[in-house]
Amino acid sequence: MALHDAPNLTDILAAQRAAFNAAPNPDYATRKANLQKLARIIEDNEQAFKDAISADFGNRSEVETVLAEMMVISAGIKHQIKHVRKWMRVRKAPTAMTYKPSHNRVIPQPLGVIGIISPWNYPLQLAIMPLVGALGAGNRAMIKPSEFTPQFSDLLKKVLSEAFSDDEVYVAVGGVEVAQEFSGLAYDHLVFTGSTKVGTIVAQAAAKNLVPCTLELGGKSPTIIDDSADMKLTTQRILNGKALNAGQTCVAPDYVLMPKSKIEKFADDFIKRAEEFYPTFAGNPDYTSIVADSHYSRLQDLLEDAENKGARIRVAGNDDKQQLAKERRVPVTVVTDTTPDMKIMQEEIFGPLLPIVASEDLEESLDYIQKRDRPLALYWFGTDKAKREKVLHQSISGGVTINDCAWHVIQEDIPFGGVGPSGMGAYHGEDGFRSFSHMKGVFFQSRFSSGHRLYPPYSEKTAKLLNLIKKIS
Ligand code: NAD
């Protein structure tokens, strides 16, 4: 029976592992061919992917799908093809004087089968980028995309199964029960991208089989605006980071820390600039909808809670509220006079709402950040180099972009990942290659080794030799 007729996940994993064991070290040409095939699939189905993702969201800006999904994948594949031959080389490693003339090597080896669980917010990018790393490192992969984007997930399954056999790349579609079964399998490595809450459940499921995990999670990413910042530039860059995908971005600037005296002007300018970006929110193809009713009500609830606790809410535009609700569009909104007891200051927002926290100086901002969960991203705007260096060295976050938002994520030459509750491990570029490889250390013993001098029975001579080794090592 063909594997397509028997989509039992345990069987698929067994078939992938058997196929891997039969060819455990794919050469560069094979890896390159797989990556090129992947690039073609994305290119050939660009419009179909745009349509499916937009249908799932209600409206997803086509430009955003190209910019934040297709272009990221294309750059990732090109980078991988350019560098993987070098990364997969057997490396000479230094050997301590004591052990010479023996020598060391490190052999990068594919791990086998990589499990990939992806979220709905950038469904294509976050399913495919781990796959790029997995295939570049010579592995096979099974993917479970989100149930919140069913049309996209069906399309992904269709196009990948046309190009790859089930024992190379397999897509498992379905709801949470499929995700639970999927996360319980004994992969060689599991990459989970999603919320910290579900990440905790997935890590526990993986631990039962001692499956190592890369966890790409979320959280509240702070943005500090320093006195030295160019406010015009800062306003539009934070707006762009917040409004992209209607704020449904793991590294969106979650909230702003800035001096109280500057808040009112910044909030007014932010709203004005938002109305220039989006003359209307309803019916605007450039502005993305909120993915589901549950998330739409969650955002309304955050605003209601903040308002009830004394916050001032500024909403951009003047769209008809019923129409906005019908299209699940939430206009860019600024929330001032915030207090820590508001839900909007406690939960990851994941929408186009920007709360502002009054903070008079850098020490106060750093203290605020340090007392909370370690964030996935941190943004600092300013020109004062001393303060910039202080932020970089005294705050801990997954990554940082200085004087803009989110750009560090798409740099293939630096690691991308979270820290603490915002994640563990990293992928993208060489870090992905390492995550999906076993860096096997090999010691080549020389026939002239003097190791036999340390064999029992131990004697005075052994003691003298040990003393000598201690001195030279
Ligand atoms: P989610 O955690 O609800 O779901 C993610 C995936 O987990 C989905 O595929 C889902 O099917 C699966 N899942 C759900 N319940 C499960 C269970 N009990 N066991 C196993 N799998 C289960 O996240 P989401 O709502 O799809 O995405 C939003 C979150 O993802 C935000 O917190 C955001 O910050 C985070 N995120 C992080 C990154 C990153 O790179 N760090 C990128 C995008 C999104």
d(CA 266, CA 227): 12
| Long-range pairs for 207-210: beta carbons < 8 A, 24 or more residues apart | 208/184, 209/184, 209/185
With a 6 Å cutoff on the Cβ, whether 418 touches ligand 1 is yes
Query: Over the stretch 62-95, which tens digit does the pLDDT of each residue have?
Result: 999 999 999 999 999 999 999 999 999 999 999 9
User: Is residue 95 lining ligand 1, measured as CB closer than 6 Å?
Assistant: no
Residue 7: pLDDT band (50, 70, 90) is low
Kindly state if the Cβ of 180 falls inside 6 Å of ligand 1.
yes
For residue 421 and ligand 1, the question of a CB distance below 6 A is answered with no
Whether residue 248 is predicted with pLDDT greater than 60 in this model: the reply is yes
Outline which parts of the chain fall under CATH 3.40.309.10: 222-417
Q: Ligand 1 pocket, 115 CB below 6 A? A: no
Question: At 5, is the pLDDT very low, low, confident or very high (cuts 50, 70, 90)?
Answer: very low
The rounded mean pLDDT for the chain is: 96
Is 46 designated active site?
A: no
pLDDT at 473 over 80: no
Question: Catalytic annotation on 216?
Answer: yes
Q: What is the pLDDT of residues 116-131, one digit of tens each?
A: 999 999 999 999 999 9
- Tell the residue nearest (CA) to atom 41 of ligand 1: 216
Select from 53, 72, 146, 147 the residue to mutate for testing ligand 1; criterion: most ligand atoms less than 8 Å from CB.
146
Calculate mean pLDDT across residues 146-164: 98
Band of pLDDT at residue 427, cut at 50, 70 and 90:
confident
Q: Which fold has domain 9-217+424-438?
A: Aldehyde Dehydrogenase; Chain A, domain 1 (3.40.605)
Give the C-alpha distances (Å, rounded to integers) separating 46 from 39, 74, 344, 447.
11, 12, 36, 59
| Residue 468 or 5, more confident | 468
Share of the chain above pLDDT 90, in %: 96
Compute, in angstroms, the gap from residue 119 CA to the centroid of ligand 1.
Answer: 5
Among 4-13, 185-194, 266-275, whose mean pLDDT is lowest? Answer: 4-13
Confidence category of residue 2, pLDDT binned at 50, 70, 90 = very low
pLDDT of 1 above 70: no
Residues of the chain with CATH 3.40.605.10: 9-217+424-438
Nearest CA to ligand 1 atom 23: 194
Q: Nearest residue CA, atom 18 of ligand 1?
A: 180
Ligand 1 nearest-atom number relative to CA 348: 32
pLDDT of residue 3: 40
Q: How is domain 222-417 classified at the architecture level of CATH?
A: 3-Layer(aba) Sandwich (3.40)
Residue 100 has pLDDT above 60, yes or no: yes
Over residues 256-274, the mean pLDDT reads 98
pLDDT of 260 above 70: yes
Please report the pLDDT score of residue 469 as a whole number.
86
Question: Across residues 20-26, what is the average pLDDT?
Answer: 97
- pLDDT tens for 26-58 read 999 999 999 999 999 999 999 999 999 999 999
Residue having the nearest C-alpha atom to atom 8 of ligand 1:
146
Give the pLDDT band of residue 292 (cuts 50, 70, 90): very high
For residue 336, pLDDT over 90 is answered with: yes
Given 64, 69, 168, 250, the catalytic residue:
250
